[in-house]
């Protein structure tokens, strides 16, 4: 095991390793950059799976109503009531930690958030006159959903997706920190934070800098989501 090198602005720091190295001599900056790819890849795939499932459930539930709506919303309520991190830890641990299992487990726990929001938007839009005219014209439910309802909920859906990216990054980081997320030697941010927790007094940069990268990324994504919401919501745009 090599002695870790501190960041460039500290004594013994070198330009070869601007953010220092960890206890195995691995460059912290390189691992943070690679960890960005892992976090964003997990987030995009989770949002793709959870967003698709949640959108379909929300559209069907909101448009059809009745017993179908009641059953789907009860399932959604159950999903929303679960302690996300605890259930994710149990499911990933049981299914063996892997990149694919982390994505599937987080998506399984995240789709109710999309379903609830999409259902609310669908209920509002299906009362509009253009939907009633499409029904009178004999259009099928699938046609009305795909041509009238879905295009009108798309701006809201984009905002939800953007805001959930930050949540997924934090959740994946938490799972990796606990040892049930992306498996080593992949440089996931959560793993990097966990690797350096025993050296906070002597080599704080091993944990602190990946944590700072995670914080800044989540903050940037959330600010982007707020900006999109302000741009896409006509009521907010008038303020």
pLDDT of residue 119: 93
pLDDT of residue 239: 44
Distance CA 107, CA 115 (A): 12
Instruction: Give the number of other CB atoms < 10 A from CB of residue 78.
Output: 10
**Residue 9, both tokens:** 């602005």
> Higher model confidence: residue 231 or residue 174?
174
Angle in degrees, 0-180, between the axes of helices 28-64 and 66-81, rounded to the nearest 10: 150
Distance CA 64, CA 76 (A): 16
pTM: 0.87
pLDDT of residue 180: 86
Query: CA torsion, points 29, 33, 36, 41, in degrees to nearest 10?
Result: -150
Average pLDDT of the residues in 94-102: 84
Name the band, by pLDDT with cuts 50, 70 and 90, for residue 9: confident
Distance CA 193, CA 170 (A): 12
pLDDT digits (tens, 9 = 90+) for 33-58: 999 999 999 999 999 999 999 999 99
Percent of the chain at pLDDT > 70 equals: 96
How much is the mean pLDDT over the chain? 88
Structural domains of the chain, with CATH: 28-237 (1.10.3720.10)
**Which of 71, 175, 63, 70 is closest to 122 using CA atoms?**
63
Beta bridge partners of 27: 21
Residue 235 pLDDT > 80: no
DSSP category for residue 8: T
Alpha carbon separation from 216 to 169, 220, 223 (Å, rounded)? 11, 6, 10
pLDDT of residue 171: 93
The answer to whether the beta carbons of residues 113 and 52 sit under 8 Å apart is no
């Amino acid at each position: 095991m090599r002695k870790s090198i501190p960041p460039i602005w500290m004594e013994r720091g070198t330009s070869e390793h601007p953010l220092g190295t960890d206890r195995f001599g691995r460059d912290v900056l390189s691992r943070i950059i690679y960890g960005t790819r892992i976090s964003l890849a997990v987030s995009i795939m989770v949002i793709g799976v959870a967003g698709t499932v949640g959108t379909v459930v929300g559209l069907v539930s909101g448009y059809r109503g009745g017993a179908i709506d009641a059953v789907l919303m009860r399932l959604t309520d159950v999903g929303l009531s679960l302690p996300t991190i605890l259930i994710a830890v149990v499911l990933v641990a049981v299914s063996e930690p892997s990149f694919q299992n982390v994505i599937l487990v987080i998506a399984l726990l995240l789709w109710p958030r999309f379903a609830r929001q999409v259902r609310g938007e669908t209920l509002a839009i299906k009362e509009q006159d253009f939907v009633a005219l499409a029904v009178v014209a004999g259009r099928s439910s699938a046609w009305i959903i795909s041509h009238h309802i879905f295009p009108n909920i798309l701006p809201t859906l984009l905002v939800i997706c953007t805001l959930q990216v930050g949540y997924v990054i934090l959740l994946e980081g938490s799972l990796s920190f606990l040892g049930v997320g992306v498996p080593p030697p992949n440089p996931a941010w959560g793993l990097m934070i966990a690797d350096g927790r025993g050296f906070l007094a002597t080599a704080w940069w091993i944990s602190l800098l990946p944590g700072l990268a995670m914080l800044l990324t989540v903050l940037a994504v959330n600010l982007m989501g707020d900006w999109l919401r302000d741009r896409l919501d006509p009521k907010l745009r008038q303020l």
